[in-house]
A and B are shown apart, each in its own frame.
Chain A
């Protein structure tokens, strides 16, 4: 029976199917994420202890199975990389948004930033190995890893900073200029402070990228797990980060005991990434509110 009433709802099987598909796809995505997170945390959390975080690591000695050296190496790499890359990235974003006139140079900068963000990290690893480790004679060292990573994260910093600089209302700038402030004063005194949450978001996103990176560091910063003795000595010698530690322990694990280390390292990594992610979300919400 055909239902032509204005109030009756016509049934469209195709619509229902498509709607179900849409919901199913979203569910699949969320369930995958939750599955991965739960699996890692459930298996890893029980093995995280203060002892695990605060002792050095040794492949042979059973009582030394901590991840302290990897945590220190990761911190070194994050801090040094940001010290190199953040000023460069933020300056580029300032130049692109505040100074540059449309032209060939700006086009080239934008194009290369895009290209850089598409280059896979293994290529960065190869490049860093040939240039920083061999040509610059840094050998496999944390410093070589940092230099490689600074190129890696440049696009992240430039893009996010650029967005936040563009979101500063131009009336702020015009007001400052009308009061007689020079361009530098306007940029450093008005635009940059207003965009600060965005700039911080850029830095935190970059931190997340560095913490999660592995392929670019495999050849450049290496796999050594010695306990760092001093800052200067350590950055000129090889050291593995948390990600590479997870990779190495997971591949070499022969006994369930060894697997526990990998599980716990993965859980530590996930927690770190999650915290950084939340922090970035918080900051970008702050920026939106103004």
Chain B
């Protein structure tokens, strides 16, 4: 008896959620047909269009100061607006057919469409600039914002009809897909922004050209690539031995009290902002290099060497913490066996512990390489930033600093070339990343055996 009453109550509640979702969905569809969706303000003409008009009208006739012309609405904008209303309608139908998850997906997608409209209308800007109108204001009126929020609310309501548990799981799932979506978006946009310049300049000229001169329009980034590689290699050569030995100290030889003091120091080293490292390098390392007797007169201080020293310090915490973790994961029995055979502690460390932890150590080194290649702000303050071929005491410009230096004032092909540098850097990083994943996975498998 109680159960039946409860079930009836549940059904009633579900019907209410369903009804509300359908109502909100219908409002979405209705706004499309009649309410103003967006507003475009050109120099002195204002166009307010509903979703339907946005989808079917050809464009706006705009009077520029010298020329007048038709500004067409991009195809993708039309598709997105129509897709928004179709998806909302599909959601309603699916909900009425009791396909709650599918309905939820449809509603979410329809909620995303205003964002796509927002992205695609940016090409209107370019069309208008051709008419010599610099000023165009694109306004988003409340119906388009409603479609976004309403879509999400509808999705939540329709999933809720299947119970709170299901709703919670779906929300967690959607949120955990954000990182997947971000990586896809980043990859797509970095490629889309970088590829045009590479195509225009030519891959060979771009990668192997030795001249970077923005005024003359020659964009060759070989010096930048080589400087980045040299800087990273130098940092690794300096940082890895110190890092590994520090990790050995922490994991093997140090007394627990001492390790407890040194350990937070490593964490703090990792937490210091890169600008502070750069600042320190600029005020301490650069003057020291400038006035170091053997170098005197050969260098102004800002140099590849300064960058290498700063980078070496910056990759230390990464290498130390990864190495320490993998050393601690080496089974105690290995050490005991070695000691029982009469080996000293030092022999045990270098012949047993480190070889057993080598894949973890290698992963740490690779992670350090990634840090060093990608570091920008610390390097920019000490490297001198002239696009020379790398030499130890000369000024250099790395891939990262090349982007950061000129981004603020670059335009046209120059700006696209900077995005292309970003693409090259991204490819480097992805290679490093994927080899890191591969190696750390292999390490885990070895431990499992």
Contacts and interface: CB of A to CB of B under 8 A. Distances in A.
B319 to A, nearest CB: 10
Contacts of A105: 177
A116 B168 CA distance: 25
B179 A118 contact: no
Contacts of B430: 115
A25 B172 contact: no
Nearest to A244: B275
Contact of A215 (B180, B268, B376): B376
Given A29-B266, A109-B177, A277 B271 contact: yes
Contact of A151 (B182, B243, B277, B374): B182
Interface string B406-443: 01100000000001001001100110110011000000
Contacts of A92: 172, 175-176, 178-179
B429 A123 contact: yes
A262 B173 CA distance: 45
A7 interface: no
B169 A99 contact: yes
B13 interface: no
Interface string A226-258: 000000000000000001101100110000000
Contacts of B275: 212, 214, 243-244, 246-247, 250, 266, 269
Contacts of A277: 264, 267-268, 271
A215 B179 contact: no
A123 B190 contact: yes
Contacts of B118: 135-137
Chain A contact patch, size range: 35 or more
A250 B377 CA distance: 12
B279 A262 contact: yes
A30 B404 CA distance: 31
B279 A23 contact: no
Contacts of A37: 268
B246 interface: yes
Interface string B259-274: 0001011111101111
A154 interface: yes
A22 B260 CA distance: 17
B237 to A, nearest CB: 14
B246 A114 contact: no
A219 B429 contact: no
Contacts of B346: 12, 14-15, 18-19
Contacts of B195: none
B263 to A, nearest CB: 9
A88 interface: yes
B416 to A, nearest CB: 11
Contacts of A99: 169, 172-173
B165 interface: yes
A152 to B, nearest CB: 10
Majority secondary structure, B binding face: helix
B119 A88 contact: no
Contacts of B313: 32, 36
Interface stretch (A47-55, A75-83, A125-133, A169-177): A125-133
Interface residues of B, number: 88
A88 B175 contact: yes
Contacts of A247: 275, 278, 377, 381
Interface stretch (B72-80, B103-111, B249-257, B326-334): B249-257
B403 A91 contact: no
Given A95-B173, A130-B189, A112 B180 contact: yes
A144 to B, nearest CB: 14
A166 interface: no
Given A130-B189, A219-B407, A247-B377, A22 B248 contact: yes
A46 interface: no
Given A115-B433, A126-B190, A127-B186, A26 B254 contact: yes
Given A126-B422, A215-B404, A251 B381 contact: yes
A136 B119 contact: yes
A262 to B, nearest CB: 7
Contacts of A286: none
A167 interface: no
Contact of B179 (A19, A36, A116): A116
Contacts of B179: 92, 109, 112-113, 116, 154-155, 158
Interface of B: 115, 118-119, 122, 138, 164-165, 168-169, 171-173, 175-180, 182-183, 185-186, 189-190, 193, 241-246, 248-250, 253-254, 262, 264-269, 271-280, 282-284, 313, 316, 320, 344, 346-347, 349-350, 367, 370-371, 373-377, 381, 400, 403-404, 407-408, 419, 422, 425-426, 429-430, 432-433, 436-437
Q: Which 9 A-B pairs have the closest CB atoms?
A: A120-B374, A212-B273, A25-B245, A92-B176, A91-B175, A95-B172, A26-B249, A215-B376, A112-B183
7 contacts: A39-B283, A91-B171, A112-B180, A114-B436, A114-B437, A120-B375, A215-B400
Interface of A: 12, 14-15, 18-19, 21-26, 28-30, 32-34, 36-37, 39-40, 87-88, 91-92, 94-96, 99-100, 105, 108-109, 111-116, 118-127, 129-131, 134-137, 151, 154-155, 158, 182-184, 187, 208, 211-215, 218-219, 243-244, 246-247, 250-251, 262, 266, 269-270, 273-274, 276-277, 281
